[in-house]
Amino acid sequence: MQQDILRVAQAIERAERILIITGAGLSADSGLPTYRGLGGLYNGLTAEGLPIERALSGPMLQRDPALCWKYLAELGRACLGARPNGGHVAIAELQRRKPQCWVLTQNIDGYHLAAGSPPQRLIEIHGQLAPLFCQSCGQGSCDMASHLAGSLPPTCAQCGGVLRPPVVLFEEMLPEQALEQLYDELHRGFDVVLAVGTTASFPYIVEPLLQARRSGGFTVEVNPALTDLSTVVDVRLAGRALDVLPALLGHIYGH
C-alpha cells in the first residue's frame, strides 16, 4: 500500500491537469449514509412500499410532494448534522497546490465547498440540497434547517408554491451547465484521474477514466471495497478516503 501511495503521489506531482471524481463513500466518513450497499438507509422499500428511486423522483415531487419531501428531509437532516472530513480537506488542499485540479462530485451535501474547494473547479453533477427555491415563482429560500423543522412539504412565503432543492432527483435530467463544463474539461484531457468513494458505472464517471487511459494518463481508485471501476484503473488504493487522501497529500509538494 505504501509503495502504491508513493507511486500515485509521484504521478500527481508530475501531472498538470488532474480530475478527482467523488461519490458517497467520501461523505460516508462524515457519517452520511451511502443509500446503497452495506449500511445504506434504503436497502429495499420505503415505509410506503416504494423503491427509494420512485419516492425520490421528479414525478413524485409533482404528484405527491409531501411523500417526496419526507425523504428529501431525511437527506437534508443527515447533511446538516454532519460536516466535511479530512478527505474533503485533503482534496481542497490538493486543488490549492495544483491550479488545474478539478473535482467532479456525485454528492449533494455541499461539503467540497465547505472544505474550501474553489467553486470554479467544482462540478456538482447531481446538484446540491440547498438553497431551496419555489417551483412556481422561482423565489429563493436559503434556510433549509427552519423548513425541515416545520411542516412538509415546505412552501413559498411569497406565493405558497412548493419549494425544492436544486438537486437532480431520480428520472430528472442532469444539469446542462455542469455537463457542458465536464465535457469541455474532458476535451482538454487529464493527466491523472482519481475515483474516490464511488461505485457508479454511469458514463460520466467511467468515461473520464477510460479516456485518461487511452491517452496515456494515470488512473487511480480509492475505495475500501472492490467496484466495477477496480479493473480499469492503474492503481487501486484499498482504504477509506479519510485515511488515504491525507497520506497521499503528505507526499506531494506544494507549488
Catalytic residues: 126
- Strand 18-22 vs strand 192-196: parallel, antiparallel, or unpaired? parallel
CA distance 194 to 209: 8
Rounded to 5°, angle at Cα 108 from 17 and 183: 35
Say which amino acid occupies 85: N
List, as one string, the DSSP characters of 218-236: EEEEE-SS--TTTTTSSEE
Do 238 and 1 form a contact (C-beta atoms < 8 A)?
Answer: yes
Helix (H, G, I), strand (E, B) or coil at 75: helix
Residue keyed to cell 436497502: 43
CB 195, CB 208: distance < 8 Å: no
- Burial label for 157, CB within 10 Å (0-12, 13-18, 19+), is exposed
77 class by beta-carbon count within 10 Å (0-12 exposed, 13-18 middle, 19+ buried)? middle
> Considering only CA atoms, which of 44, 18, 181, 25 is closest in space to residue 107?
25
